[in-house]
Amino acid sequence: MRILYCILIGIGVLCSGSVLAQELIQIPRGTFVMGDSTGDANEAPKTVSVEPFRLMRLEVTNAQFSTFVKATGYVTDREKEGWAWVWPGGRWTRVNGANWRHPRGPKSSIQNLENHPVVQVSANDAEQYCQWRGMRLPNEKEWEFAARGTDGRRYPWGNERPTQSKPFRTNLGRIKCCAADDSDGYMRTSPVGIFPANASPFGILDMAGNVWEWTSDKFPGVPYERAIRGGGWGNNPYCLRVSYRHGNRPHYGLDMVGFRCAANSGTK
C-alpha cells in the first residue's frame, strides 16, 4: 500500500493518494513559557525548550485507523476487555460492547464518520498506530508548543474565548461544563479540520476541542495515568486552553479521546 506523506512548513496543499495521507507540519526548535499563571496548580509557568519535530496537522481518523487494523489484524485494548467508558451526559458510564467501531456501544457505529477522529483507543493503541506509521506520540512540551507557539496565547487561535455562536472556532460542549452541545452542528465528534479558524500558529487544526489527545508523558502526581491534552466535544472553554492538563489511565478508551502522531525531524 502506498503511503504518501507531505512534509510542509505551515499550511499547504492537502495530500492525496491514500486514505493514510496526512500532512506533517514542521515545528521548529523553540523556547516558550509552558503553563498558565491563572490556571490550575499543575499549570505553573516554566520556560522550556523544544527540539525540531513534525506533527500531524489533523487528528487520526476512523478511516486511517481502520486501514491500520485491516493491514495488521490489530485488536484494541477495549475490544479485548469488552467494554469502554462513554459520556452520555452527566457522568462517565461503563458500556459493554463499546469500542472504536462502536464508540457508544453495540447500537452505535462509525458508518459515515470515516473522517471523524477515532475514539475509544487507549494510549497503547495510539502508540501502536503511530509506530506502524514510523512515528510516535508527541510529549506534552511538544504538544503545547505546537498549539500555542511563543506568544503565550491561551487558545491555538489567540486569547479569544470560544463560544457556541457563529463564527464557530471549534467543536466544544456547553459553556457550563460538562455536556455535549450541537450548536456548532455536531453533538459529539466533528470531521477533522472542519473549523479552520482554530488553527494554531503553525497551522495545526483541532488542538482545542473535538477530542482530547494522548501524549507520551505520565500525568504529574498520578504516575499510573497518561497526560491527555486539548479538551473535547463535551468540555467547556476552560478545558480547551492549551495549557490545561488532564490524565487518563493508558489502557482506557473513552468516546472523547483520540490522538495524532509526531515524528522526529529527519524521519518520515
DSSP-assigned letters across all residues of the chain? ----EEEESSS-PPP-SSTT-EEEEEE--EEEEES-TTS-GGG--EEEEE--EEEESSPPBHHHHHHHHHHH----HHHHHTEEEE-SSSS-EEEET-SSSSTTSTT---TT-TTSBP-S--HHHHHHHHHHTT-B---HHHHHHHHHTTS--SBTTBSPPP-SSSSP-S----SSSS----TTS-SS---TT--GGG--TTS---SSSSSEEEEEEEETTEEEEEEEES--TT--GGGGSTT--EEE-TT--BTTEE---EEETT--
Q: Domain extents for the chain? A: 5-264
How much is the pLDDT for 195? 93
pTM confidence score: 0.90
Stretch 207-220: mean pLDDT = 96
How much is the pLDDT for 176? 56
How much is the pLDDT for 211? 97
pLDDT-above-90 percentage for the chain:
75
Stretch 190-202: mean pLDDT = 96
How much is the pLDDT for 181? 73
Res. 187 pLDDT band, cuts 50 70 90: confident
How much is the pLDDT for 191? 97
How much is the pLDDT for 14? 36
Stretch 194-223: mean pLDDT = 95
- CATH among 3.90.1580.10, 1.10.10.10, 2.60.120.20, 3.40.190.10 for 5-264: 3.90.1580.10
When the pLDDT of each residue in the chain is averaged and rounded to a whole number, the result is: 89
**49 or 178, which is more confident?**
49
